């Protein structure tokens, strides 16, 4: 009789993040994601680690050679994190200092990302599984030569019991419930997912509140007398520019927009001033 499946989900109180070999010389090897997309994914994972206060370990290999130093953004984001500059070990798990740093976190779940997927990530993931850890590899914050190589690495890790998920799934599984600091999570997500039109009324209207999102704006909550009005996001080139604006302002700046905000929608508060770009 087959053993029933048990869903082993990420737990923010029992997880650590391992950023493996995100080095300047290795980034150029990543061909399975566009450069800007890959950078966004890596920094999104880093932001998740900071948002949930997850212990984070940085490691590099053979910095003096062609691999080069760690990408500066990660070092700046985690200035106090354990930083293991391996002199040459390809598999970070072969480095005693790295393994000691992992065990010192006291966490059972390891969230791993790195370059390249089939070597630096896979070797650590398999070694950690063997050592008894629960391993979660962040697929889109790890990169390699091409999609064929990536698929083979994913299959190898998955067969060994590694869970594969992207950075957004990591954030959601750690967060569990949108009502847990939706404004904080929303701020973080909006930095990495520009079109948030999918997260509209159903998500943002819980507990009779409506949260507006937009680059350059902190999330706001409508006052009680506004809550009966549905809020819609729009698909023109700069939706964030008028999220807070009155309908007249919207019509003036976006005359061809097919979605009209209701005429009764007012400003979030009296201090708001229109930030629409001049026409």
Catalogue the active-site residues: 120
Which residue is it, tokens 């520019």?
241
Query: Taking each helix axis from N to C terminus, what angle separates 35-51 and 182-190, rounded to the nearest 10 degrees?
Result: 160
Rounded Cα–Cα distance for residues 33 and 95 (Å): 29
Going by C-alpha positions, the residue among 240, 258, 234 that lies closest to residue 194 is 240
**Strand, helix or coil for residue 185:** helix
Cβ partners under 8 Å of residue 227, min gap 6: 208, 209, 210
Rounded Cα–Cα distance for residues 149 and 116 (Å): 10
Cβ partners under 8 Å of residue 181, min gap 6: none
Quick one: tokens of 85? 């500059």
Rounded Cα–Cα distance for residues 142 and 139 (Å): 5
The CA dihedral of 17, 107, 80, 219, to the nearest 10 degrees, is: 60
Is the distance from CB of 67 to CB of 61 less than 8 angstroms?
A: yes
Question: CA-based angle 17:5:138, to the nearest 5?
Answer: 25
């Amino acid at each position: 009789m087959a053993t029933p499946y048990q869903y082993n989900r990420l737990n923010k109180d029992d997880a650590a993040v391992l950023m493996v070999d995100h080095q300047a010389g290795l980034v150029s090897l990543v061909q399975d994601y566009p450069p800007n997309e890959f950078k966004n994914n890596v920094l999104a994972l880093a932001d998740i680690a900071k948002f949930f206060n997850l212990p984070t370990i940085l490691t590099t290999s053979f910095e003096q050679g062609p691999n080069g130093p760690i990408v500066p953004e990660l070092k700046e984001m985690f200035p106090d994190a354990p930083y293991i500059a391996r002199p040459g070990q390809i598999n970070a798990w072969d480095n005693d200092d790295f393994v000691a740093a992992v065990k010192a976190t006291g966490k059972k779940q390891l969230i791993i990302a790195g370059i390249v997927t089939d070597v630096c990530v896979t070797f650590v993931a398999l070694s950690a599984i063997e050592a008894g850890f629960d391993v979660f590899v962040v697929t889109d914050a790890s990169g390699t030569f091409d999609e064929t190589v990536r698929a083979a690495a994913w299959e190898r890790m998955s067969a060994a019991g590694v869970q594969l998920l992207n950075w957004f799934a990591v954030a959601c599984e750690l967060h569990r419930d949108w009502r847990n600091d939706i404004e904080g999570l929303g701020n973080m997500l909006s930095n990495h997912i520009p079109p948030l039109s999918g997260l509209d009324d159903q998500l943002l209207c819980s507990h009779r509140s409506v949260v507006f999102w937009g680059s350059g704006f902190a999330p706001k909550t409508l006052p009680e007398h506004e809550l009966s009005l549905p809020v819609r996001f729009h698909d023109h080139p700069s939706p964030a520019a008028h999220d807070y604006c009155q309908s007249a302002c919207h019509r003036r700046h976006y005359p061809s927009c097919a979605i009209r905000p209701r005429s009764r929608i007012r400003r979030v508060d009296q201090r708001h001033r229109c930030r629409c770009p001049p026409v």
